[in-house]
């Protein structure tokens, strides 16, 4: 993986992909088969998007041919798959401005004043810039990243800990079930005894409570106890009154705040903060700007990773006609094409 360290002159390229999540990474592969080199820009500090940031160790069950794979495992496999095409990553940067040049190409600028000139732009930004919703607790910022976590990057960091998980959705229930076997103690707290998560997850959680393997508390957080980023307990209010739950790891799952950010100012037609596209090319209202993955919308849209992979494949064919106008393209299969196998380094 190459990572650009900055340049004074604009970087000229065929394609800039905004977003390095699974869909953006697979787009590198589909474009690479057509001899289109890609530069990727992502606001996160590493490739992988939500898979790497929010659920790197959470199992995914609906990736074709992979009965089970973690979010991080999927990202690593995609990174291995695109190695032959040597994409360049610009991480920890946000594309702030986009304009069309007189020759039809686009000029992009990031918040680090890095500029690109490109023939095609692919928006693969998931739901836009996302941040976990922070509980309204005084001083919580001092504990974040040390004792308070909004995602699990390494399960080993929670082994032997007193864990308090707060929330009633799938993330809270999934991590309750996954972390309970390795925790010293685990408590799940929700404001009511009803849950939005999958019924089988709710049932499994209640079985763990019934056997004494974990505790379920109905209540709300009111404060934190600890010092220097080290949490020792969480103040809560229940029907019985105030109490302090012992915890040295707090995981609040209150959802995400999604923002399009500068994307909203690029002149694209928007539909409730999503980008409408056609289903032939996955092109936006602006020729040469494509949108794939969770950021787009069209009739029948399913927000699945596998849907984004399909969108990337059709997008690449359309982008190829813009980047190489007049070039005759013969559709080939990687299983039988010696030229494609040569590109992939397997022949």
Predicted confidence band of residue 79 (pLDDT cuts 50, 70, 90): very high
State which of 208, 239, 254 marks the end of a domain.
254
In this structure, the answer to whether residues 70 and 180 fall within a common structural domain is no
Predicted confidence at residue 7, as pLDDT, reads: 47
- The CATH number covering residue 339 comes to 3.50.50.60
In this structure, the answer to whether residues 182 and 319 fall within a common structural domain is no
State which of 212, 239, 254 marks the end of a domain.
254
Mean pLDDT of 99-125: 93
In this structure, the answer to whether residues 52 and 108 fall within a common structural domain is yes
| Longest pairwise C-alpha distance within the chain | 74
Q: Which two tokens stand for residue 344?
A: 């992939």
130, pLDDT greater than 50 = yes
Predicted confidence band of residue 52 (pLDDT cuts 50, 70, 90): confident
What distance in Å separates the CA atoms of residue 282 and residue 296, rounded to the nearest whole number?
A: 8
In this structure, the answer to whether residues 83 and 20 fall within a common structural domain is yes
Structural domain containing residue 200? 137-254
In this structure, the answer to whether residues 174 and 191 fall within a common structural domain is yes
Phi, psi of 47, deg, nearest 5: -70, 160
In this structure, the answer to whether residues 278 and 248 fall within a common structural domain is no
Which single residue is written with the structure tokens 């919580």? 140
In this structure, the answer to whether residues 186 and 199 fall within a common structural domain is yes
Q: Are strands 69-70 and 59-60 parallel, antiparallel or unpaired?
A: antiparallel
In this structure, the answer to whether residues 72 and 125 fall within a common structural domain is yes
What distance in Å separates the CA atoms of residue 23 and residue 125, rounded to the nearest whole number?
A: 9
Predicted confidence at residue 5, as pLDDT, reads: 44
Instruction: State the chain's mean pLDDT as an integer.
Output: 89
In this structure, the answer to whether residues 249 and 261 fall within a common structural domain is no
Task: Give the model confidence (pLDDT) of 219-266 as tens digits.
Answer: 999 999 999 999 999 999 999 999 999 999 999 998 766 555 566 667
In this structure, the answer to whether residues 123 and 148 fall within a common structural domain is no
- Count how many domains the chain has: 2
Predicted confidence at residue 187, as pLDDT, reads: 98
SS3 label, residue 127: coil
State which of 254, 269, 302 marks the end of a domain.
254
In this structure, the answer to whether residues 26 and 89 fall within a common structural domain is yes
In this structure, the answer to whether residues 218 and 290 fall within a common structural domain is no
Task: Give the model confidence (pLDDT) of 168-188 as tens digits.
Answer: 988 899 999 999 999 999 999
Mean pLDDT of 10-22: 95
What distance in Å separates the CA atoms of residue 277 and residue 48, rounded to the nearest whole number?
A: 23
CA triple 107-93-99, angle to 5 deg: 15
Predicted confidence at residue 269, as pLDDT, reads: 67
Q: Which of 49-58, 90-99, 159-168, 236-245 has the lowest mean pLDDT?
A: 49-58
Which single residue is written with the structure tokens 């996302």? 130
Tell me the residue ranges of DSSP E strands in the chain: 2-3, 11-18, 38-42, 59-60, 69-70, 88-91, 95-100, 106-110, 115-123, 129-132, 162-166, 185-190, 215-227, 230-238, 241-246, 249-252, 256-259, 275-276, 289-291, 296-297
């Amino acid at each position: 993986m190459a990572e650009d360290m900055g340049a004074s002159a604009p970087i000229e390229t065929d394609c800039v992909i905004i977003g390095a999540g699974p869909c953006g990474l697979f787009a590198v592969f589909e474009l690479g088969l057509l001899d289109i080199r890609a530069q990727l820009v992502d606001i996160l500090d590493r490739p992988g998007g939500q898979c790497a940031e929010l659920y790197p160790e959470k199992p995914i069950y609906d990736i074709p041919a992979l009965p089970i794979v973690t979010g991080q495992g999927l990202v690593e496999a995609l990174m291995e798959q695109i190695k032959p095409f040597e994409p360049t990553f610009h991480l920890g940067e946000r594309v702030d401005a986009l304009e069309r040049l007189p020759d039809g190409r686009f000029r992009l600028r990031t918040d680090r004043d890095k500029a690109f000139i490109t023939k095609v732009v692919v928006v693969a930004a998931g739901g836009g810039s996302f941040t976990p919703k922070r509980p309204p607790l005084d001083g919580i910022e001092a504990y974040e990243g040390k004792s308070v976590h909004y995602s699990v990057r390494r399960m080993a960091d929670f082994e032997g800990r007193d864990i308090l998980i707060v929330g009633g959705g799938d993330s809270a229930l999934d991590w309750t079930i996954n972390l309970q076997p390795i925790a010293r103690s685990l408590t799940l707290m929700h404001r009511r005894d009803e849950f939005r998560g999958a019924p089988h997850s709710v049932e499994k959680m209640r079985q763990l409570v019934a056997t004494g393997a974990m505790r379920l508390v109905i209540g709300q957080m009111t404060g934190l106890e600890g010092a220097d980023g080290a949490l020792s307990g969480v103040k809560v209010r229940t029907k019985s009154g105030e109490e302090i739950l012992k915890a040295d790891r707090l995981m609040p799952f209150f959802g995400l705040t999604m923002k399009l950010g500068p994307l909203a100012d690029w002149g694209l037609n928007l539909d409730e903060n999503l980008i409408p596209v056609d289903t032939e090319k996955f092109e936006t209202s602006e020729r040469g700007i494509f949108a794939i993955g969770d950021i787009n919308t069209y009739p029948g849209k399913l927000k699945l990773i596998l849907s984004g992979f399909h969108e990337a494949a059709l997008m690449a064919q359309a982008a190829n006609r813009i980047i190489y106008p007049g070039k005759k393209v013969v559709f080939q299969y990687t299983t039988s094409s010696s030229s494609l196998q040569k590109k992939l380094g397997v022949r």
